[in-house]
Chains A and B, each alone.
Chain A
């Protein structure tokens, strides 16, 4: 029973207690995904599964048979950073960097949700087919990712430059 991580196939763990987070970090030696609270409160462990952002700490790896997982290690192409990675550097979207892999994976999932018109708690018109990623929308949609350094303004700036600009185009 395989799981696909950043394009490579791996066996699922025999022990069903292994979380997707521990599979990535401890078994597959991909430590880019971070363990913050390990209880679904901080978002540091956010990864993409079939393009959707989830919390890998609350996910049992055995549930992800034949699913495609993308972690922060799978975003750059060689030395070419993903546009969001570059934007986080440009806008100082971090200080210590611990939450950053989760922030960036979350932002990629956010973009996919916005493209297909998923509303948020701050969307004035729930039925609107098109999402406009205002600053308030970005803040609400990123609320599952905490940054204890408080780099939020830089993070939202990075998202505004990349995702919001793309949506408006």
Chain B
């Protein structure tokens, strides 16, 4: 590991002040950052420990939920409000990593974790535009089975690895941040970027900005929501494809729906086309298949990952069917 300084922030303004140092990085649970530093994928000169900040989960005045960025993943998944009002979020968190890692990892860190593209990690042997901008992408002509089917560019095919973020995309969460220019909020869908020509820029956060909280809106339909993850082994693996979904059916018709996909793009992929097809239509398997087909019409398979198109389609249909069964 390259040498670095370490300081523990006592509050938000202290964190922002410390975070303004050259080549500083905020440190949460360390489950991704420490590994990346050990592999010298990233080499921050200063770590600012923010695990002492924002560790509470509170109900908001409008009936939503405000989650401090330093809340550990386990603490969020076991919170009664998440288990009863936002099961999609609880299930997504519990589908990720292992119990040990969930006990360490923070909510803010989960949002900012880096891709597990093997070429990104391979410092000594592979080119990667995300790791060293302008050097090329060895996944383009390489083994790209785990890579993106939506929104990729010639510069980068990487996928976002988080399960929790797929649920947050479906939930229309809001991200609270603080930074050198004060506080602001970011709609969750605007936090992560598609790679374009600059895959090294992964979020809309400005340099030195720090996530302080995630806010969930009051959304009664989320009581009927779930998350399904498909992976190469039964547990403790990243998603090939995952689906976060919530469905409200009244009189056989879909009156509200939220759908997001994981493992398919550089950001959690909100399936807006599928949602548009479903809304107002019948809650039937035929309609669910039509919605999945509409969403996946934009998919662009690579040499090794064409299977993700059929897998995503079938998983969407299965999850919607499960939720429809729960509501009729």
Contact = CB atoms under 8 A, between A and B. Distances in A.
Nearest to B226: A126
B80 to A, nearest CB: 8
Q: Main SS of chain A's interface residues? A: loop
Contact of A55 (B4, B8, B31, B91): B31
Given A58-B35, A63-B51, A126-B90, A118 B5 contact: no
Interface stretch (A88-96, A105-113, A149-157): A105-113
Contacts of B156: none
Interface residues of B, number: 38
A109 B103 contact: yes
B157 interface: no
Nearest to A49: B103
B91 A17 contact: no
Nearest to A113: B99
By size class, the interface of chain A is: 35 or more
Contact of A106 (B6, B8, B97, B99): B99
A126 B34 CA distance: 31
A127 B1 CA distance: 42
Interface in B69-87: 74, 77-78, 80, 83-84, 87
22 contacts: A15-B3, A17-B3, A46-B100, A52-B74, A53-B99, A55-B31, A55-B100, A58-B35, A60-B30, A63-B8, A63-B30, A109-B99, A109-B103, A110-B99, A113-B99, A116-B78, A117-B78, A121-B95, A140-B234, A140-B235, A141-B99, A143-B235
Q: Ordered nearest first, which 8 A-B pairs have the shortest CB separation? A: A144-B98, A143-B235, A16-B6, A143-B236, A121-B94, A118-B78, A17-B1, A126-B83
